[in-house]
Amino acid sequence: MSGLSRRRWLGSLGVLFAAGKLPPLSWAREAANKAAAKSPGQPLQLVDFRPKSMLHVPETKVPRAKYPVIDVHTHICFNANSKNGVGIGEKMNYLAPPEDLLPLMDKKNIRIMINLTGGSGKGLDESIARYQTLHPDRFITFTEPWWEHTNQPDYPKFQADELVRAHKAGAKGLKILKTLGLYLRENVTTGPLLKVDDPRFDSMWETCGSLGIPVAIHVSDPEAFFLPIDRFNERFEELNNHPDWSFHGKDYPSNTEILEARNRVLARHPKTQFIVLHVGNDAENLPYVSECMDKYPNMHVEIAARIGELGRQPRQSRKFFDKYQDRIMFGTDAVPHGDEYPQQVFNELLYEIYYRFLETEDEYFDYAPAAVPPQGRWRIYGLGLPDSILKKVYYENAARMLKIKI
């Protein structure tokens, strides 16, 4: 279409629009789709699409963190048995011995790794002995609730007593997996889902407050996980590869319902400190997370497995770090071994990307060491945090909460 004819065509549309005679938008969309269908070109499967950026921008390698790091979110071991998403029993699986972890920790300036999934009962005792007892200045262990006892009438007292025992054994905090709210049911693995703010857990939260140990809590997941897995879902590839990660439909509560139930827990237990994992479980909605942080002074956050979300909104993220610099901690969700989830595998590249995100103002770089971005097809931008905030995020905030010296 020549420039003149195009102007005439656009002009005629303007006349029709002014006269109220313009065809409906659906007609224009249909015409565009037909034109695209007729256009020459080679078909390409999305899975094979590996575009190379044409941007010429600085690339800064950050092989070692500028300050010592406390990684508050790692998984060195986990419950060996589960049923319908609920951990059962005390037996644990261990992913790596300390001697396999320490060399990389030293190289990347990781002073302490916090193993959140330390288990309960005999499993917890063994987890503490394998890591924390051998290297008390390098590993910290959190305990977990005994979910399989939740349908017993004496559960509130039982769980409170177990927390006291776990603390005496050396546990430095309590970890809540998204088991609560999305998997745990009235009869443990069957029946209606239990709500995050179920009163039977009140004694558990209160006991943590009286012991002075934090609760690292993960409820909910990215908003897209609660939407249909279709062409409108920007996490389509991720969910299509892992359909069991979807919480759309069935009897699952909405993302909002889960978060609001969590907020009621924060409100009911103001003396208990909560580390709300994955940037408050809503990294894509920082205004909402900020609203919660303002309302609940016992709420703290960490950034594990969410720099992909934070890094594509760098200006808003930087403001968030500025405002809440005393309540944000460093975490990665690192898991030793495996390659199915590249945004979590404990290796050099994982930590270098986190350091680059926090320390530099680099633009448009990968948020995970993978050929295809695992969480969504976008890239991120560095925050370039000043030293005063870096030190707080890297270790000072966590050290203060855990009452340890670095």
Tell me which of 7-21, 53-67, 258-272, 293-307 is least confident.
Answer: 7-21
Chain segment 97-109, per-residue pLDDT in tens:
999 999 999 999 9
Q: Where are the domains of the chain?
A: 3-41, 69-402
The answer to whether residue 157 scores a pLDDT higher than 90 is yes
What's the pLDDT at 28? 54
The answer to whether residue 14 scores a pLDDT higher than 70 is no
What's the pLDDT at 9? 43
What's the pLDDT at 36? 56
Residue 220: alpha-carbon gap to chain centroid: 10
What's the pLDDT at 18? 45
* Residue 51 CB burial class (10 angstroms; 0-12, 13-18, ≥19): exposed
Chain segment 28-80, per-residue pLDDT in tens:
566 556 655 566 688 898 888 999 999 999 999 999 999 999 999 999 999 99
3-state secondary structure of 274: strand
Measured from the Cβ of residue 284, the count of other Cβ atoms closer than 10 Å reads 17
Question: Band of the pLDDT at 13, cuts 50, 70, 90?
Answer: very low
Asked if residue 242 lies in contact with residue 301, where contact means CB atoms within 8 angstroms, the answer is no
What's the pLDDT at 33? 63
Into which CATH architecture does domain 69-402 fall?
Answer: Alpha-Beta Barrel (3.20)
Q: In what order do the strands lie in the sheet with 274-276?
A: 174-176, 215-217, 274-276, 299-302, 328-329
Tell me which of 16-20, 27-31, 200-204 is least confident.
Answer: 16-20
What's the pLDDT at 16? 44
The answer to whether residue 82 scores a pLDDT higher than 60 is yes
Look at residues 65, 52, 55, 107 and name the one whose alpha carbon lies nearest to residue 356: 65
In single-letter form, the type of residue at position 98 comes to: P
Chain segment 268-279, per-residue pLDDT in tens:
999 999 999 999
What's the pLDDT at 29? 60
Rounded (5°) CA angle 282-285-291: 90
Q: In what order do the strands lie in the sheet with 69-74?
A: 69-74, 110-115, 139-141
Asked if residue 336 lies in contact with residue 330, where contact means CB atoms within 8 angstroms, the answer is no
Residue 277: alpha-carbon gap to chain centroid: 6
Strands (DSSP E) found in 80-121: 82-83, 86-87, 92-94, 110-115
Tell me which of 36-45, 113-122, 131-140, 300-309 is least confident.
Answer: 36-45
Two tokens, residue 16:
């029709």
Query: pTM score, two decimals?
Result: 0.90
Mean pLDDT of 336-362: 94
Q: CA-to-CA distance for 103 and 109, rounded, in angstroms?
A: 10
% residues pLDDT > 90 (the chain):
86
Chain segment 205-245, per-residue pLDDT in tens:
999 999 999 999 999 999 999 999 999 999 999 999 999 99
Asked if residue 284 lies in contact with residue 309, where contact means CB atoms within 8 angstroms, the answer is yes
Q: CA-to-CA distance for 6 and 64, rounded, in angstroms?
A: 57
Look at residues 281, 336, 327, 273 and name the one whose alpha carbon lies nearest to residue 304: 281
Tell me which of 11-20, 152-161, 332-341 is least confident.
Answer: 11-20
